[in-house]
Amino acid sequence: MKHHIILYVIISFIMLMIGKVELFAQQQDLYGIINTYAQVATHDDCGQYVVLMDASGFSPGDRALLIQMKGCHYYDGDDRNFGQVEYYSSCGAFEFVTIDAVISDKVVFESPTVHYYQAGAAQLIKVPQYGDVRVTNGPNSPQSSDPLTAMAWNNSTNTGGVLVFEASGTVTLNADISVDGKGFVGGSKSADNIDSNLFSYIYDPSENKSGTKGEGAGIVPDSLNSGRGPSVNGAGGGVGRSG
């Protein structure tokens, strides 16, 4: 009986050591862009799947974040209330999903989604999973300069601007995580001199009466994208005023 106990202790000790070696081997240096992004073209009414514009970066078993970036409804009259939210709809909704199957650009989830997501305004982001991770500035850190970050927001595809990962162990910050300037696109100034004493909250940019609005959670049509009214959480474009 004593021999059996000793043998069991030795085997247990070896298994613990193997477990520690595997855990240490899982430590991952994180830098640069680690996520894969795709625009949602269609969301199944029952929440079982989405169709992406490009599903090539996703595989069965992947963890992913489904998130709607834009699409809240707002007041669009030409007065000081322009850009005030009337209701959010699914804007800002998000949830983590596990992919069951990928069929062409159709991505099927293991469980139905809780929320409904607006086509074109939502994105699916692949979420890498790690044990222990160490955030660095790149492979030659600290000399290199490739901080952990998100892909810059692309307002043509409504993708990017989000950094996400899961770590089951320890996250060590040996460098900053930086997503500066990776969100919604800012406004732009007028190309030419503009008239003074303009007060409207909306203009068509082609009229050249104002800078464009900063991008926000509301989808602003091009014909309303100038003038001092904010685009929900994006700043207004400003107008010409006499001194």
Residue 24 has pLDDT above 50, yes or no: no
pLDDT value for 116:
95
Nearest to 36 by CA among 162, 135, 145, 168: 162
Amino acid at 128: P
pLDDT value for 242:
46
pLDDT tens figures, 70-111: 989 888 888 898 888 888 889 999 999 999 999 999 999 999
CA dist., res. 208 & res. 213, Å (int): 13
Task: Read off the tokens for 193.
Answer: 């001199």
222 within 8 A of 191, measured Cβ to Cβ: no
pLDDT tens figures, 64-74: 999 999 989 88
- State the burial class of residue 14 (Cβ atoms within 10 Å of its Cβ: 0-12, 13-18, 19+): exposed
Query: In terms of pTM, does the model score above 0.85?
Result: no
pLDDT tens figures, 182-196: 998 877 776 565 566
CA dist., res. 212 & res. 115, Å (int): 32
Mean pLDDT of the chain: 84
pLDDT value for 106:
98
Supply the DSSP string of 199-217, one letter for each residue: --S-B-GGG-SBPBPPP-S
The DSSP output letter for 152 is P
How big is the CA angle at 20 (ends 16 and 24), to the nearest 5 degrees? 170
pLDDT value for 193:
58
Residue 4 has pLDDT above 80, yes or no: no
pLDDT tens figures, 144-199: 789 999 999 999 999 999 999 999 999 999 999 999 999 988 777 765 655 666 77
pLDDT tens figures, 192-224: 655 666 778 888 877 777 788 888 888 888 888
Supply the DSSP string of 13-54, one letter for each residue: HHHHHHHHHHHHHT-EEE-SB--EEEEEEEE-TTSSEEEES-
What residue has token string 């162990």?
A: 169
42 within 8 A of 120, measured Cβ to Cβ: no
